[in-house]
Amino acid sequence: MTKTNPGRFFEDYEVGEVIRHAVPRTVKMGERALYHALYPARHALHSSDAFAQICGLPFSPLDDLVTFHTVFGKTVPDVSLNAVANLGYAEGRWITPLWPGDTVTATSEVIGLKQNSNGRSGIVWVRTTGRNQHGETLLSYVRWVMVRRRAEGPAPEPVVPELAAAVAVEDLVVPEGLNFKGYDFGLAGEPHRWGDYAVGEVIDHVDGVTVEEAEHMMATRLWQNTAKVHFDATLREDGRRLIYGGHVISLARALSFNGLANAQMIVGLNGGAHANPCFAGDTVRCWSEVLDKAETAAPGVGALRLRLVAVKDGGESAPTLKGSDGKYLPHVLLDLDYWALIPL
């Protein structure tokens, strides 16, 4: 019997099972510095202890996407080692900020299974929960992936979970203490507040970043994500490595500072699609659309529901994302739907 992990196949999952993911991880200021080196991140709340304190927090938490990547990375050996495709996200909620020194662990509950008609693969839905060393939930989200069967076999009773199209405003959690009463728009970098954004408004974030192999591999390793396709050049004829989709999320979110500098914290993940693969050499650009607006119970804190689209190859000027067949056009990398907190 081999001692190495072959990963789970479709027939290894059962609805209701809770998978406890391995390798707890303590994250501190080193991970924060690397986040700033790997992405052009400038949101002030995640850049400065002093700014975070103005906003009622004890100090600057790690970027909300560090929470996401660290939790996601833990799930890879159990959920997506034999995945054919990462199909979607839903019902993502950030509950507690990730503070420097926290140790992250993660579990996933299998909440849905549906075998494909070809009998060679199926869709697995998991609800993943990341926790800190106190057992508090950091982040919870649903993700579904297409996973290979080890061998053909009878299909299990299909269970397809009902998932919310978006996280309801009343389910968004504002971090304890956060308020924007004394918010300093000058230090934050832009004057635009909640009231300045209109539903339907589109913001071109202008800047582009060309991605290198060394960068995305360092980032993906940092989250202890072990998926072979990101690291092993022998898996593709052209020697390129498939870039971890989360790398594109962080790149796009960081670039969106230019026009959304005050959308400080991500608190909800409504949905998301990695529309096309990203490779080293691609130049990533992005734009956002305001999908919805809401107020929260916290002083001065509003929420924007944003669609964040990342494109490559000059796709920023293409008016449409999908072809007549309903499929994403080749220039689209990411189509993400999330809630962020912004001063009222």
- Enumerate residues 7-36 that contact its own copies by CB under 8 A: 20, 22-34, 36
Q: How far is the CB of 192 from its own copies (least distance, A)?
A: 5
Q: Does 204 bind its own copies (CB under 8 A)?
A: yes
- 220-279 binders of its own copies (CB under 8 A): 221-222, 224, 226, 228, 231-234, 239, 241, 258-261
Q: Closest CB to its own copies among 77 and 300?
A: 77
Question: Which of 123, 125, 127, 114 minimizes the C-alpha distance to 84?
Answer: 123
Secondary structure of residue 191 in the 3-state scheme: coil
**Which residues touch 27 (CB under 8 Å, ≥6 apart)?**
62, 66, 70, 98, 100, 101, 102, 103, 104
Distance CA 282, CA 211 (A): 6
C-alpha to C-alpha distance for 213 and 243, rounded to whole angstroms? 8
The yes or no reply on residue 49 touching its own copies (CB under 8 A) is: yes
Q: State the nearest-atom distance from the C-beta of 41 to its own copies, in Å.
A: 8
Report the residue from 8, 38, 244, 315 that binds its own copies according to the rule CB under 8 A: 38
Nearer to its own copies, 169 or 229 (CB): 229
The closest of 340, 236, 224, 232 to 293, measured between CA atoms, is 340
Residues 85-114 that bind its own copies (CB under 8 A): 101, 103, 105
Candidate residues 3, 162, 200, 317; the one interacting with its own copies per rule CB under 8 A: 3
Complex with its own copies: residue 228 or 327, whichever CB lies closer: 228
Contact between 179 and 52 (Cβ < 8 Å): no
Nearest distance in Å: CB 60, its own copies: 6
Near its own copies in 132-171, by CB under 8 A: 133
CA nearest 194: which of 182, 185, 206? 185
Does residue 219 touch its own copies according to CB under 8 A?
A: yes
Which range binds its own copies by CB under 8 A, 138-146, 156-164, 198-206, 269-277?
A: 198-206
- Half-sphere exposure for 207 (CA within 13 Å, toward CB): 13
Site for its own copies in 272-311 (CB under 8 A): 281, 283
Amino acid of residue 341: L
The amino acid occupying position 255 is L
C-beta of 3 vs 157, nearer to its own copies: 3
Q: What is the dihedral of CA 38, 43, 49, 51, to 10 degrees?
A: 160
Question: Site for its own copies (CB under 8 A): how many residues?
Answer: 77
Radius of gyration of the CA atoms of the chain, in A: 20
Nearer to its own copies, 115 or 262 (CB): 262
Among 65, 90, 124, 188, contact with its own copies (rule: CB under 8 A): 188
What count of residues does the chain have? 344
